[in-house]
């Protein structure tokens, strides 16, 4: 097995309406040895999930009542917060948590949120170039005393950001996205971690192809592809035995979805079967698994995964 495997829990849309629910899950993950806790960055999610806690405020509250769990976002929308202000927010979070920030950011995509909140929604190439400038600024503010930068979309001048983040040289930067013409080039240039689970057709071969494209861009920038940690987001359906697994599939599978379609892009099975499925992704380069469970409010589910999957793989 791989010594450096990490496991985080991400919160799906249906779990973002109740802070007490999130608090219970986060504290359980903290006690069970999960590495991290990840929130998506949305204001609402029509038509079904409009009661929605804001990500940054929520994770700050959760960090205050956990001890070792790291916190990140899959992923922050660059357009929603002015980059130098976000850099200051993130540095502050890292300081008050003692270095527990995993910084995830992307170009943004959900047009109805932009329109509803009065945020400009330029074409994708502009949003991606804005993302690139934003990450450059954020890195400079985390590492330089009086950083300045003037780009096409953003500029700073002697933008003091003190105190600096606890993590050195800076918190790990994850960039989410899978676009092969622009986004993966930005990832290769600037990211510490990648996540392709945005606009990708799932499947081992699709992930292998994205890694190959990213590796080509890394070589173009003179970077070792191994410098960029590969993360993956997957839903897990786990049970002690086949009967329990099948019962969960029948409970959570939408009636209009075929069983084979429901399970093919998930990690499904007993602990032993989940380990085999995870190993398939390890074999092509993934080392950070950010997982969720349809029944994640149940302590038994998280405990089973931690005790019989994570403990065997780490």
User: Mind listing the pLDDT tens digit for each residue in 193-208?
Assistant: 999 986 666 689 999 9
Which of 139, 141, 110, 147 shows the shortest CA–CA distance to 127? 110
Say whether 176 sits in a helix, a strand or coil. Answer: strand
Cα gap 26→54, rounded to integer Å: 16
Higher-confidence position of 259 and 2: 259
Cα gap 128→126, rounded to integer Å: 5
Whether residue 3 has pLDDT greater than 80: no
Task: Give 130-184 pLDDT, tens digit per residue.
Answer: 999 999 999 999 999 999 999 999 999 999 999 999 999 999 999 999 999 999 9
Whether residue 15 has pLDDT greater than 90: no
Q: Give the lowest-confidence range in 16-25, 111-120, 209-218, 271-280.
A: 16-25
CB-based contact 285:2 (threshold 8 Å):
no
Which of 21, 95, 28 shows the shortest CA–CA distance to 53? 21
Alpha-helix residue ranges (DSSP H) falling in 221-266: 242-252, 259-264
The tokens describing 114, both together, are 């932009």
Cα gap 308→311, rounded to integer Å: 6
Q: What is the DSSP secondary structure assignment for residue 105, as one 8-state letter? A: E
Tell me the pLDDT band of 212, cut-offs 50, 70 and 90.
Answer: very high
Whether residue 250 has pLDDT greater than 60: yes
The radius of gyration of the chain's CA atoms, rounded to the nearest angstrom, is: 19
User: To which residue do tokens 């890195």 refer?
Assistant: 139
The tokens describing 18, both together, are 């109740």
User: Which helix (H) or strand (E) covers residue 282, if one does?
Assistant: helix 271-282
The tokens describing 181, both together, are 């013409």
How high is the pLDDT of residue 2? 44
How high is the pLDDT of residue 201? 64
Whether residue 248 has pLDDT greater than 60: yes
Cα gap 29→48, rounded to integer Å: 27
How high is the pLDDT of residue 125? 98
Within its chain, how far is the Cα of 294 from the centroid? Answer: 18
Which of 3, 42, 37, 12 shows the shortest CA–CA distance to 23? 37
Return the domain boundaries, the chain: 6-234
Cα gap 198→8, rounded to integer Å: 18
How high is the pLDDT of residue 118? 98
The predicted model scores a pTM of 0.95
How high is the pLDDT of residue 1? 39
The pLDDT mean for the chain works out to 95
Cα gap 279→285, rounded to integer Å: 10
Within its chain, how far is the Cα of 170 from the centroid? Answer: 17
> Which CATH code for domain 6-234?
3.20.20.30
How high is the pLDDT of residue 4? 86
pLDDT (average), residues 96-124: 97
pLDDT (average), residues 186-199: 92
């Amino acid at each position: 097995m791989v010594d450096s495997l990490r496991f985080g829990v991400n919160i799906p849309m249906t779990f973002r309406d109740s802070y007490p629910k999130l608090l219970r899950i986060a504290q359980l993950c903290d006690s069970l040895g999960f590495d991290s806790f990840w929130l998506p960055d949305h204001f609402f999610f029509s038509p079904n999930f409009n009661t929605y806690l804001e990500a940054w405020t929520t994770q700050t509250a959760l960090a205050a009542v956990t001890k070792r769990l790291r916190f990140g976002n899959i992923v922050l929308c660059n357009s929603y917060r002015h980059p130098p202000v976000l850099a200051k927010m993130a540095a502050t979070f890292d300081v008050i948590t003692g270095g527990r920030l995993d910084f995830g950011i992307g170009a943004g995509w959900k047009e109805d949120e932009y329109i509803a909140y009065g945020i400009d929604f330029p074409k994708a190439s502009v949003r991606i170039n804005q993302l690139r400038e934003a990450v450059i600024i954020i890195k400079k503010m985390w590492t330089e005393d009086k950083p300045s930068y003037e780009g096409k979309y953003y500029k700073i001048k002697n933008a003091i950001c003190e105190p600096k983040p606890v993590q050195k040289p800076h918190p790990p930067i994850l960039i989410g996205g899978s676009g092969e013409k622009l986004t993966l080039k930005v990832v290769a240039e600037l990211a510490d971690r990648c996540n392709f689970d945005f606009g990708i057709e799932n499947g081992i071969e699709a992930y292998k192809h994205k890694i190959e494209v990213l590796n080509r861009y890394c070589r173009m920038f003179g970077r070792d592809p191994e410098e960029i940690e590969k993360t993956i987001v997957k839903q897990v359906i786990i049970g002690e035995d086949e009967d329990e697994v099948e019962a969960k599939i029948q409970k959570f599978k939408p009636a209009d979805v075929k069983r084979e379609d429901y399970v093919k892009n998930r990690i499904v099975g007993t602990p032993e079967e989940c380990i085999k499925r995870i190993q398939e992704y390890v074999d092509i380069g993934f080392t950070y698994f950010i997982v969720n469970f349809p029944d994640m409010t149940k302590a038994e589910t998280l405990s089973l995964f931690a005790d019989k999957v994570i403990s065997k793989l780490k």
